[in-house]
Amino acid sequence: MSSSTSIPSTQKAILVHENGGADVLKYTESHSVPTLSNGQVLVKNHFAGVNFIDTYFRSGLYPAPGGFPLIVGQEASGVIAKIEGDNAFGLKVGDRVVWMAGKGYAEYSAVPADRVIKIPDGISDEHAVGGYLMGMTALSLIKEAYPVKKGETVLVHAAAGGMGLLLCQLLRDVGATVIGTAGGPEKTKLAKENGATHVIDYKATEGPSWVEQVLKLTDGKGVDVTFDGIGKDTWEGSLEVAKRKSKVVYYGNASGPIPPFNIAKLSAKNVSIMRSTLMNYIVTREELEFYANGVLDLIKAGKLNIKIHKVYPLSEAVTAHKDLEGRRTTGKLLLKL
């Protein structure tokens, strides 16, 4: 059994035919609309989220799932245009939904029904996807990767970025002391407005290094946990500012991946390290609903403010990637479909 609205045979999409810089993102208006398998829904996307991981698949840092041409994009919001076969989640054609799976930079995406969540009334499509993958990630970091407790001191790198602003807000609500790092005065101000207790401009060319400043702020002891999504440029400093018996959670590679290193180094302070990814916290439907509804509830209650940096037309995906990788953005980037 399937139900549907009128669906064209071709659509707008961004195709990647080979790995490379942002310019390999090619806009087309004649890509075929996907056909559905049993248990999938076709979503007519309104907004797709831009995430750093999209640049990793584009560049080849992460292998392209399913080969080329590749459609990057992990998440989007829109309406259900068609449902095929089993429909265990009570979805209906016309439902407003947000989803996280793959092939998001396209007008239509075939998504397994169990990866689709209805958007509650009172939340816009922009805010639903603007806070979705990143909000779930931020929640998973502070609840599972390292369950942060009131009074603990937490270091958040790139505190004015998409992830950073959400982490600062959530950690303020937990009652943690948040030390943020950010590049430049505008970003440091924004991170502070979003909940960071102290913000260090780690791009400043004069004065003590960010490592020295974190140690000074913590009386030389270091922090209880660091959430590091920058990777190559910060990983050594993150270990330096780790308190004895603390944890460093690496969750991304904005500056490049961390090189192999000697685990024996950790014994100097009995430090734990972790490489965390959202995907492994939302494997079951129950886990997905826990984090997805957790985020959507926070947005609806006005407890999580989603800052949209800019909405780019789909045809300007190249500019969106260049802005994100060029450190010119704060908050979330979206593509309008």
Ligand X SMILES: NC(=O)c1ccc[n+]([C@@H]2O[C@H](COP(=O)([O-])OP(=O)(O)OC[C@H]3O[C@@H](n4cnc5c(N)ncnc54)[C@H](OP(=O)(O)O)[C@@H]3O)[C@@H](O)[C@H]2O)c1
- Least separation in angstroms between residue 100's CB and ligand X is 10
Answer whether 249's CB lies under 8 Å from 226's CB: yes
- Least separation in angstroms between residue 180's CB and ligand X is 9
Residues contacting 260, CB < 8 A, separation 6+: none
Answer whether 203's CB lies under 8 Å from 183's CB: yes
Burial of 285 (0-12, 13-18, 19+ CB in 10 A): middle
Q: Is 124 in the site for ligand X (CB under 6 A)?
A: no
- Binding residue count for ligand X, defined by CB under 6 A: 29
Per-residue CA distances from 172 to 142, 154, 165 (Å): 11, 10, 11
Q: Which of residues 237-256 bind ligand X (CB under 6 A)?
A: 251-255
Nearer to ligand X, 39 or 184 (CB): 184
Q: Is 51 in the site for ligand X (CB under 6 A)?
A: yes
Determine which residue in the list 137, 169, 194, 213 makes contact with ligand X, applying CB under 6 A. Answer: 137
Q: Is 182 in the site for ligand X (CB under 6 A)?
A: yes
Q: Is 59 in the site for ligand X (CB under 6 A)?
A: no
Q: Where are the alpha helices (DSSP H) in 67-148?
A: 125-130, 132-140
Q: Is 77 in the site for ligand X (CB under 6 A)?
A: no
Q: Is 214 in the site for ligand X (CB under 6 A)?
A: no
- From the list 182, 163, 131, the residue with the least C-alpha distance to 334 is 131
- Least separation in angstroms between residue 319's CB and ligand X is 15
- Least separation in angstroms between residue 236's CB and ligand X is 14
Instruction: Give the integer Cα–Cα distance in Å for 215 and 223.
Output: 8
Determine which residue in the list 173, 293, 325, 336 makes contact with ligand X, applying CB under 6 A. Answer: 325
Determine which residue in the list 25, 178, 214, 230 makes contact with ligand X, applying CB under 6 A. Answer: 230
Torsion (CA) 133, 67, 283, 130 in degrees, nearest 10: 10
E strand spans, the chain: 2-4, 10-16, 25-32, 40-50, 75-84, 96-100, 108-112, 116-118, 153-156, 177-182, 198-201, 223-228, 242-250, 272-275, 308-313, 332-336
Q: Is 213 in the site for ligand X (CB under 6 A)?
A: no
Nearer to ligand X, 110 or 191 (CB): 191
Q: Is 277 in the site for ligand X (CB under 6 A)?
A: yes
Among 99-107, 162-170, 218-226, 263-271, which window interacts with ligand X (CB under 6 A)? 162-170
| Site residues, ligand X (CB under 6 A) | 51-53, 134, 137, 158, 160-164, 182-183, 187, 229-230, 233, 251-255, 276-278, 324-325, 327, 329
